[in-house]
Amino acid sequence: MIELHLVQPPEVVNAGAGVHGVRGLRDRFRLPDLWQLHLFNYSAELTLLGTTYSVAPGYVSLTPAGTQVQFDYRGRSEHLYAHFRPVVAGDPSYVPVVQDAGEAAPLLSALLRSAIESSPSGSARTAADVWSALWRIADLTPVTTETRHPAVATAIAHIEANLAQPLTVPGLARVAGVSHNHLTRLFQSDTGSTVIAYIRRRRMTRARHLLVSSTLSIPAIAASVGIPDLQAFNKTCHRELGASPRAVRAA
């Protein structure tokens, strides 16, 4: 897993469609200060961070800035890509280096093609499209790390899949198969946060994304992140994001 900050839109330097494997079957790339996002339309081997991954059509990869990546092609190979700088703010998401986008692949392709069409003159739209794609990629896998206690990982996976639903510590403890008090201690140790504070931050991180990048109404966004009471949503938005929902949307 790698840490990727998604609270604010990234700075997208370029986006495009790459064609490789014509003049040679191996390429190495290293971008000193830019992340690389690839959506593959071919089968190949990808090596980075000391691990070799097999990729196939519909797979996505994320390469952190300053990391060398090696592509071993099997012939002419086409992919969509974006090079970007994340804005380091708020809690990070934890995303695999390589994963199968599955049913989300057509949506990711549409978002990246839209980003390509609007680049470079439509930089705000390009950033919004790439940001939406990154959020969709982050949502493919529940937020977890290999070092977390299994009960905490289970609780976090349940939180991520059910942000729109009522969530309680006793309910999460039952899902994780531990006692209320034990989950509270494990969660604090593994994440440095209480369960309730973590849920609140994740809900408002998602709310901020929807306020900025979607046309959903504020009541619909509030309901989609599990805070359907507008007064409570407004209060939480002020506390976590420092502004009202309308102000966040207008920023």
pLDDT in tens, 208-219: 878 877 788 999
State the DSSP code for 113.
H
| Predicted local confidence at residue 179, as pLDDT | 96
Rounded average pLDDT over 93-110:
86
pTM greater than 0.85: no
Residue 180's pLDDT band (cuts 50, 70, 90): very high
What is the layout of strands, in order, in the sheet containing 69-72? 26-29, 69-72, 44-48, 51-55
Could you tell me which of 183, 229, 227 has the C-alpha nearest to residue 207? 227
**pLDDT (tens digit per residue) in 114-134:** 899 887 655 788 888 899 999
pLDDT in tens, 39-94: 998 888 989 877 888 888 889 999 999 999 999 998 899 999 999 999 888 778 88
DSSP letter string over 12-36? EEEEEEEEESSS-SEEEE--TT-EE
Nearest to 175 by CA among 159, 192, 195: 159
Q: What pLDDT sits at residue 121? A: 53
Segment 176-187 shows an average pLDDT of 94
SS3 state of residue 54: strand
Q: Is the dihedral of CA 60, 198, 6, 125 positive or negative?
A: positive
Which residues are CB-contacts of 115 (< 8 A; sequence separation ≥ 6)?
Answer: 12, 15, 82, 125, 126, 129, 130, 133
Work out the angle at residue 56's Cα, subtended by the Cα atoms of residues 50 and 60, and round it to the nearest 5 degrees: 65
Over 70: is that where the pLDDT of 145 sits? Answer: no
